[in-house]
């Protein structure tokens, strides 16, 4: 007998009930951006490989080691997206969104792919929520983007995350800092791979997490000490605006993030309960990226928040995000005529915004009530020959056990009204199915 096919290794896959948590986390992370006027983008999962080579940076681990790249039947090199920003900016350029007014503010969500060694919090397929704001150099926009991420995490009930903040300088002051840093790195004994990374982009060496290299970098010059006056003023204003918005942060002078396009403001949210893979989201400003990808020379800032990592952080804190019940109302027909009548009522309930389901396969009352409990529904509708004769049905509260009879012709409206005044049930709230119901 052949073995069953399983999901590929390193894929973050969710089924009920964890899939409901996934949806709740995604919606909570997105909600602040939608309230701030960010419009939705649906982006391709794969792009021209050159987009990521130019946009993310040839010296990054993402491009040099981690991309899933393939050649299509036309001989074109394509890559599953390893991150969202490059594709979002490509779409803004291609569709001329920047010509319709600035800043362009967009959000997106979906899977990303990196060929990494799977471990806790590090997947080959993972999901992110991202925002991009393009066309303004205003430090208040930096603060807004950071605050949106902070609001998303706090809206889920997270409390133990830390926001790390730094400034990486601009095209005017970065070359001078790069020269100073290159001179310092030349005094260290670097392995060939690290030396090559230092040659391509010395700031990337600061991002190396190996303890022995971090120890060697203790005396390394820092970006914050080599900012031009304009960058210093910009960073000061970002921090002041964050204070106004009530967002707390920690200075992180060695934070450079893992992608080459960052300039000026860089930030990362970390959660110490997650161990080595502590980052749950981050981003920064990328003042040259749009021009590098063939668009106008416009500033931009954005973030990517990890849905999978956020779920791990919630679990570490013992926080359960609010999820919508899979089912509000479960209808139980006892006979073919009752089934036809309840099909219509279930359709009316769904049209009214309630999540409603029906017991199929002509189940007896006992089995149907067990299915109602499993569904998570708050109310059960029971319709049999006795109820049909009275042109009514039984509405049973599956938490309190209370039940009443309501007319069939007003049942949908009555149940919808009942639902507005009821709290969602929680596991363990339900009384045991009565002996009378089991025997009916």
Instruction: Answer yes or no: do 356 and 307 share one domain.
Output: no
Range of the domain at 336: 329-439
**pLDDT at 1 > cutoff 60:** no
In a domain, 27, yes or no: yes
276 and 313 housed in the same domain: yes
CA distance 359 to 356: 10
Instruction: Note whether 112 and 81 are within 8 A (CB).
Output: yes
* Alpha carbon distances (Å) from 363 to 221, 331, 371: 73, 12, 10
Residue 276 sits in the same domain as residue 391? no
Instruction: Assess if residue 187 is contained within a domain.
Output: no
Domain end (from 286, 317, 348) = 317
Contacts 24+ apart (CB under 8 A), 282-286: 282/164, 282/257, 283/85, 283/130, 283/145, 283/149, 283/257, 284/168, 284/257, 285/142, 286/85, 286/261, 286/262
Residue 277 binned pLDDT confidence (cut-offs 50, 70, 90) = confident
Average pLDDT value for residue range 299-311: 97
Instruction: Note the pLDDT tens digit of each residue in 45-55.
Output: 999 999 999 99
Phi first, then psi: what are they for 307, rounded to 5°? -65, -45
Of 262, 289, 317, which one is at a domain's C-terminal end? Answer: 317
Alpha-carbon distance of 126 to 308, in angstroms, equals: 7
Q: What is the DSSP letter of 115?
A: -
Q: What percent of the chain has pLDDT over 90?
A: 81
The bridge status of strand 329-333 relative to strand 379-383 is parallel
Assign residue 36 the CATH number of its domain: 3.30.930.10
In a domain, 197, yes or no: no
Query: What's the number of CA atoms in the CB half-sphere (13 Å) around residue 358?
Result: 21
Tokens 């490059």 belong to 86
CA–CA gap between residue 424 and residue 378 (Å, rounded)? 7
Tell which wins on pLDDT, 3 or 359. 359
Asked whether residue 59 falls in the same domain as residue 134, the answer is yes
Extract the tokens encoding 289: 């990226």
- Specify whether 125 is located in the same domain as 257: yes
**pLDDT at res. 324:** 80
- The answer to whether 251 and 163 have CB atoms below 8 angstroms apart is no
Place of tokens 């499993």: 374
Query: pLDDT tens, 256-275?
Result: 876 667 899 999 999 999 98
What's the pLDDT score for residue 197?
82
The mean of the pLDDT values for the chain is 92
Identify the pLDDT of residue 259.
66
**Contact of 411 with 419, CB cutoff 8 Å:** no
Structure confidence by residue, pLDDT tens digits, 360-379: 999 999 999 999 999 999 99
Domains of the chain: total:
2
* 144 and 293 within one domain: yes
In a domain, residue 178? The reply is no
Report if residue 214 sits inside a domain: no
Residue 292's CB is within 10 A of a number of other CB atoms, namely 16
pLDDT of residue 427 exceeding 50: no
What was the pLDDT predicted at 187? 93
Is residue 179 included in any domain, yes or no?
no
Phi and psi at residue 342, to the nearest 5°: -70, -30
Among 12-16, 175-179, 433-437, name the one with the lowest average pLDDT: 433-437
Domain containing residue 398: CATH number: 3.40.50.800
Task: Quickly state the pLDDT bin for 305 (edges 50, 70, 90).
Answer: very high
3-state SS string for 167-179:
ECCCCCCHHHHHH
Same domain? For 268 and 296 the reply is yes
Going from the C-alpha of 49 to that of each of 67, 89, 117, 144, 261, the distances in angstroms are 9, 15, 22, 31, 16
One domain, residues 416 and 284: no
169 within 8 A of 339, measured Cβ to Cβ: no
Residue-level pLDDT at 340: 97
Give the residue-averaged pLDDT of 34-46: 97
Distance separating the N- and C-terminal Cα atoms of the chain = 44
Task: Indicate the residue among 285, 317, 349 that finishes a domain.
Answer: 317
pLDDT at 423: 59
Confidence of residue 435 (pLDDT cuts 50, 70, 90): very low
Whether 182 maps to a domain, the answer reads no
Cα-Cα-Cα-Cα dihedral of 378, 384, 388, 389, to 10°? -130
pLDDT in tens, 379-398: 999 999 999 999 999 999 99
Contact by Cβ (8 Å): 18, 133: no
pTM attached to this predicted model = 0.88
**Residue 17: closest CA among 282, 327, 242:** 327
d(CA 421, CA 414): 11
Place of tokens 């803004």: 92
Residues 168 and 126 in one domain: yes
pLDDT tens-digit readout, 147-188: 999 999 999 999 999 999 999 999 899 899 999 999 999 999
308 and 339 share one domain: no
Is the domain of 101 the same as that of 150? yes
pLDDT higher than threshold 80 for residue 114: yes
Q: What is the mean pLDDT of residues 337-357?
A: 97
- Are the C-beta atoms of 158 and 313 separated by less than 8 Å? yes
Report angle CA 35, 36, 42 to the nearest 5 degrees: 85
Q: Is residue 12 part of a domain?
A: no
Based on the fold, state whether residues 306 and 378 are members of the same structural domain.
no
């Amino acid at each position: 007998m052949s073995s069953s096919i399983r999901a590929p290794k390193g894929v973050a896959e969710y089924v009920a009930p964890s899939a409901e948590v996934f949806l709740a986390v995604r919606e909570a992370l997105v909600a602040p951006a939608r309230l701030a006027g960010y419009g939705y983008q649906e982006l391709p999962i794969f792009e021209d490989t050159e987009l990521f080579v130019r946009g993310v940076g040839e010296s990054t681990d993402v491009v040099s080691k981690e991309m899933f790249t393939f050649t299509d039947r036309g001989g074109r090199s394509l890559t599953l997206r390893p991150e969202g920003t490059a594709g979002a900016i490509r779409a803004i350029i291609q569709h001329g969104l920047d010509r319709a007014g600035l800043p362009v503010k967009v959000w997106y969500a979906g899977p990303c792919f990196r060929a990494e060694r799977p471990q806790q919090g590090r997947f080959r397929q993972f999901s992110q929520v991202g925002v991009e704001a393009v066309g303004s150099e205003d430090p208040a926009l930096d603060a807004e983007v950071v605050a949106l991420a902070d609001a998303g995490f706090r809206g889920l009930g997270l409390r133990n995350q830390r926001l790390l903040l730094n400034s990486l300088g601009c095209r005017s002051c970065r070359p001078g800092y790069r020269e100073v840093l290159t001179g310092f790195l030349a005094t260290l004994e670097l392995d060939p791979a690290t030396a090559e990374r230092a040659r391509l982009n010395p700031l990337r060496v600061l991002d190396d997490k190996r303890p022995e290299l971090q120890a060697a970098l203790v005396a390394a010059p820092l970006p914050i000490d080599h900012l031009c006056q304009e960058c210093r003023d910009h960073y000061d204003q970002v921090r002041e605006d964050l204070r106004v918005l009530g967002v707390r942060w920690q200075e992180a002078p060695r934070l450079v993030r893992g992608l080459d396009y960052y300039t000026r403001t860089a930030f990362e949210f970390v959660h110490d309960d997650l161990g080595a893979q502590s980052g749950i989201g981050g981003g920064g400003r990328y003042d040259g990226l749009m021009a590098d990808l063939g668009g106008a020379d416009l500033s931009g800032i954005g973030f990517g928040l990890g849905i999978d990592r956020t779920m791990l952080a919630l679990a570490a804190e013992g926080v359960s995000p609010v999820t919508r019940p899979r089912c509000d109302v479960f209808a139980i027909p006892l006979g073919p005529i009752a089934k036809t009548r309840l099909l219509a009522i279930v359709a009316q309930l769904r049209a009214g915004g309630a999540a409603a389901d029906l017991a199929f396969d002509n189940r007896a009352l006992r089995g149907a009530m067990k299915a109602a409990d499993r569904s998570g529904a708050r109310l059960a509708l029971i319709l049999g020959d006795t109820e049909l004769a009275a042109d009514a049905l039984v509405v049973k509260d599956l938490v309190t056990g209370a039940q009443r009879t309501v007319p069939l012709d007003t049942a949908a409206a009555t149940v919808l009204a009942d639902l507005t005044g009821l709290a969602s049930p929680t596991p363990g709230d339900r009384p045991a199915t009565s002996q009378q119901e089991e025997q009916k």
